[in-house]
Structure 1
């Protein structure tokens, strides 16, 4: 049987991205730092593009600084009263480092006491002299142990004050000079934005003060908060949320993004290359404006649905899907996914990944999965270290709060949070040495 060749005509549809659409999608997925780098590269190649760096504005701070700066007036050092316990994932991280640094003896007892005195911010919640006395050690011994603990990442843990927390980070960055040291000694003046007075105190120009202020704002005042559920360890978030007279306000973090200025040529471009450069500059300017508008629109919708979390923290997250947000803002679900990828928002409760605010519901009428993870974190953080809660006990504690789950489900979420089992969380209470 002979085979015969046949010629047929078929019609197919294929979507091909042009360069402009591809660039627009790429810009949509950039976070603040990524977009800044991209714009710097484009400005270096295109003579019609110019970037104007964001300037530090006196008195303006990211929301996560609010609580840290508010304590400057009444808290010169660590609080005398023991503050809230640190997150269990932070404690697991610290205790793993303690095991390697201090295997036994009095230094280990001191290290454990110092770890147990950590606040959720990562600062010490008790005076060092008090901890030294409880461990039966001298103050110099406790200071030596503390110095080694302050080398644990992230830098700033075990600080006794905001100034010390920032100083540790400045030393790591290699930017601690005389002017910055002076500013850290007068953080109340820095927080108030009194640049003229600060320049006079530090005997430098206001320009030098402004330059170092940007360095300070890039530090993390609460390094321990990086271990909270949903936290984003970023220096410059994309969005900021503050409470205003009319409720919660969502805005772009303008201090993280340079302003894009498209300069019109003095005469009409004559060569194809010149015309293309002018056209690309205009397109890029429109893309950045569109990206910022879309990010703000989506961010406002997401955070508007999660106002309870802004009030009470991640334990109050309500179930929310990308499909629901996409329908509300009349965008495709894939666009929502691109917008929230790598995007962070700074709130008074800390800096969060926008993607982590999405969570499905557990059961038909249960809480969101994110709220459950936050509840587990809270329960473990409040437990007695000498008698930690087993998975069965955690299940019973959640049931008492109206959340009925199987023990294996609780164990699964505990592992997702990097919280060790009860047997590994147990720590003996250090007794006073003779």
Structure 2
């Protein structure tokens, strides 16, 4: 045995803390990013918020033009600078503070002839009303908390259940529907049985419901129509305060010369800069003390890093969004049927970025398009093979086709999952029956048996109305 020494070369990649932090900035939402920047402004005396006309940092804001040609539809232009106020709609212009459910109820309680004792109970019950209109406390618990009789609470609750909108202060869905039916004077014994067996209604077990309610198909059809006309969440007609809206990160608008204009929303871009005059002033004083100079250099280094990181984040989001628009140009023009299958690797390869970077950029980022507001991840869908060897189809577009097929069904022609798979094949989409079933169930579409049973019930009801 003998020992010996040797040299071994090994290559490794180590990420600095600042690099890790820069990567983390990519996946932050705009709200989280603003919070992070505010914290940096508090602890770094060299940083200050930039005026509104400044870019995202000390350096100029990102600006690009002349994106790659879009297939068959001209060019896509992008620009990260602010647009004129009239160029695009502002969400806040359409937002108003509406009366909340709790405001509406409080106003009605104040106009109701309660005794002081009853009004106290009424206000306590109203305080346990959720935004959908349901009571979130039991009368017995509230009676114990207030040290009042349960009969008093039940009596006041009965009065409150007659307030507008009909159905509020219910404790269950059945009670909510019962309150609304009583308001319409339609809570007869047959309807009471139907409301008590809502789980059968959800299963579309109409045969058993007819037997239990003691009615024929025509009467059951009328009862179902009445149930459908009720509101299971009566409080939802009111807003629960200041409405929330998604602040988009990217705007996509038709360009004047054709194609699309892509812009970053300035509201999502924190703007900071380095106060150079303050840096010069502090540097002259700190030069005499090495400790102060070390702190100053560290602050300056962190400030430059933050500005560069914000700038790079903006450029990366815009670059990814531009490639998504290039890939999904047909969707923007013609709708969901033209949504192309797309994965992260395709975008990453096209813009020379790592797949993980694209994944971080598309998380919790939103894009305003002529087709609506979409999360960037919406545009990445699974590819479904074509029967004819042509271009693959997007899974989202296929789901849309299945939903359209079901919506067009007639009373005498209800499609089974096999039928849907065959029709998709006729359109050049190769999809197995079990995949059709999976997509159908994910969209909460009942099976063909359930749909056929319900359509037969509707048809019989319509025929009865014609005969009468």
- Structures share a fold, TM > 0.5? yes
> In structure 2, what is the Cα distance between the partners aligned to 1:100 and 1:242?
48
Partner deviation per Cα, 1:365-424 (whole Å, 9 max, x = no partner): 331223222322333455569986432232233234332422112123334445453456
- Give the equivalent residue in structure 2 for 1:239: 250
Partner deviation per Cα, 1:155-189 (whole Å, 9 max, x = no partner): 5xxx6xxxxxxxx33xx13x4xxxxxxxxxxxxxx
- 1:136 shift after superposition: 9.6
Equivalent position to 2:276, from 260, 264, 268: 264
Contact kept, 8 Å, 1:33 with 1:236, in 2: the verdict is no
- Give the equivalent residue in structure 2 for 1:48: 46
Of the structure 1 ranges 41-50 and 306-315, higher mean CA displacement relative to structure 2 is found in 41-50
> In structure 1, what is the Cα distance between the partners aligned to 2:254 and 2:377?
22
- Give the equivalent residue in structure 1 for 2:72: none
- 1:65 shift after superposition: 10
- 1:306 shift after superposition: 0.5
Q: Which runs of 5+ in 2 are unaligned?
A: 54-81, 96-171, 199-220, 287-291
Equivalent position to 1:367, from 368, 373, 393: 393
Contact kept, 8 Å, 2:384 with 2:429, in 1: the verdict is no
- Give the equivalent residue in structure 1 for 2:338: 316
> In structure 2, what is the Cα distance between the partners aligned to 1:263 and 1:242?
36
- Give the equivalent residue in structure 2 for 1:306: 328
Matched, 1:347 2:369: yes
- 1:98 shift after superposition: 7.4
Give the number of equivalent residue pairs.
305
Partner deviation per Cα, 1:294-332 (whole Å, 9 max, x = no partner): 111111111111011112322211133333322322223
Partner deviation per Cα, 1:197-230 (whole Å, 9 max, x = no partner): xxxxxxxxxxxxxxxxxxx6x43xxxxxxxxxxx
**Structure-2 change in CA distance of 1:63 and 1:345 (3 Å):** farther
Matches within 5 A, 1:113-262: 145-146=230-231, 148-151=232-235, 168-169=238-239, 172-173=240-241, 175=242, 218-219=244-245, 235-246=246-257, 247-262=259-274
Of the structure 1 ranges 405-414 and 357-366, higher mean CA displacement relative to structure 2 is found in 357-366
Contact kept, 8 Å, 2:409 with 2:415, in 1: the verdict is yes
Contact kept, 8 Å, 2:384 with 2:430, in 1: the verdict is no
Partner deviation per Cα, 1:28-71 (whole Å, 9 max, x = no partner): 222322322222222222223334697998656559999x99xx
- Give the equivalent residue in structure 2 for 1:77: none
> In structure 1, what is the Cα distance between the partners aligned to 2:174 and 2:339?
35
Contact kept, 8 Å, 1:64 with 1:346, in 2: the verdict is no
> In structure 1, what is the Cα distance between the partners aligned to 2:314 and 2:175?
46
TM-score (norm 2): 0.54
The CA RMSD measured in Å over matched residues stands at 4.4
> In structure 1, what is the Cα distance between the partners aligned to 2:410 and 2:39?
53
**Structure-2 change in CA distance of 1:374 and 1:46 (3 Å):** farther
Partner deviation per Cα, 1:328-357 (whole Å, 9 max, x = no partner): 222233322222233221222222121231
Greater RCO, 1 or 2 (C-alpha within 8 Å, sep 6+): 1
Q: Which runs of 5+ in 1 are unaligned?
A: 70-96, 112-133, 160-167, 176-215, 220-234
> In structure 2, what is the Cα distance between the partners aligned to 1:422 and 1:63?
44
